[in-house]
Amino acid sequence: MAASGYTDLREKLKSTTPHRDDYKPKVSDYSNGRKRKYRDSEEDYSDYEEQREVEAQKVQDGIRQVNIFSSVDCAHIEAKIDEVVSAAEKGLYREHTVDRAPLRNKYFFGEGYTYGSKLEKRGPGQERLYSKGEVDDIPDWVHEQVIKKLVESRVIPEGFVNSAVINDYQPGGCIVSHVDPIHIFERPIVSVSFFSDSALCFGCKFQFKPIRVSEPVLFLPVRRGSVTVLSGYAADEITHCIRPQDIKERRAVIILRKTRSDAPRLETKALSATDPPAATPERPWILKPKRSHRKADPDAAHRPRVLEMDKEENRRSVILPERRRKSGSSSDNYWRRSHEASDSYDDTDDNANAARKVKMRRH
């Protein structure tokens, strides 16, 4: 027996920390690529799975899917979407109508709003509608070919929609987990899919560099031409997203919503000084086209990024004298000595490249 009178260190630990009597050891399960919350028994795990099933059912109860667009209807609408893309490339829309991102372009009509990097203050509830006239009106073809059919099918009431957004995804594109701003939009949220089949996922968490997405609470297949209506728990209490792996071909979605009458709106003076004035019939604002040179590649999100240290090394290789670039030394001291030495014998070149000198001080 030990001098302290304990033969089992666990008994000693328990006696010295009585407040830890109910402490349960934590274990972590990463099975099926999913991080499981800490628990110490199969009973706890079954409870966790049961909770997920209950939540999935709540999500399902808030989803309605209908098919009212035929293949012919889809083809006509997809041709119109291509016209929107072409007009945006030519710079025919107002600035806030078009929002570009890698592998995903967004086109606002009727009403647009700030989100993501465009927020003045980050965080939920900070989204704001743009001032009236900052985005283009909903095109007539959206009213005639999309909204009218939804009203006739009693999916939405007449006069409900005043905001239409077209999201155009390339293979590998995505949209991170989010809840459509409750203080901006009424419910339900209606979306119609085109070009290809995809999926909508609920309850996922995103991680980046490289991009990874956790297993969803609910995986909802979304077919070409299908209408998805979100309300209740599915719209307000859980996030939804589109994962990169679920966009295998080009896909577009038209999102139809109604803004709340009390939704906060940006004042004109709150816009950036570089923003153009509102367009007028006499002088419409023309947006210069911005082209993305990134190829549509499903694996694009997994490409390694160029680090700042690599950029610095590339800059040095341009600035340093020729004989420094030929040497294999990477020492900062050697770099400083070489650069200082170049001041004494390379005056002619220095006069031509004075703007590219970098002065260093010995310490």
What are residue 251's DSSP bridge partners?
Answer: 169
Two tokens, residue 61: 């109860």
Which residues are CB-neighbours of 321 under 8 A, at least 6 positions away?
Answer: 338, 339, 341, 342, 346
Residues 213/204, Cβ–Cβ less than 8 Å = yes
Q: What is the DSSP secondary structure assignment for residue 285, as one 8-state letter?
A: -
Is 113 a residue of the active site?
yes
Give the dihedral sign, CA 101/106/107/112: negative
d(CA 200, CA 246): 8
- What are the φ and ψ backbone dihedral angles of 11, each rounded to 5 degrees? -65, -40
Q: Which of 113, 169, 233, 345 is catalytic?
A: 113
Three-state SS at 218:
strand
Which residues are CB-neighbours of 173 under 8 A, at least 6 positions away?
Answer: 102, 103, 104, 242, 244, 247, 251
Cis peptide upstream of residue 188 (ω within 30 degrees of 0): yes
Two tokens, residue 361: 């001080």
Two tokens, residue 279: 């367009």
Three-state SS at 29:
strand
d(CA 352, CA 357): 10
Residue found under tokens 């465009």: 118
Residue found under tokens 């001291």: 333
Positions annotated as catalytic residues are 113
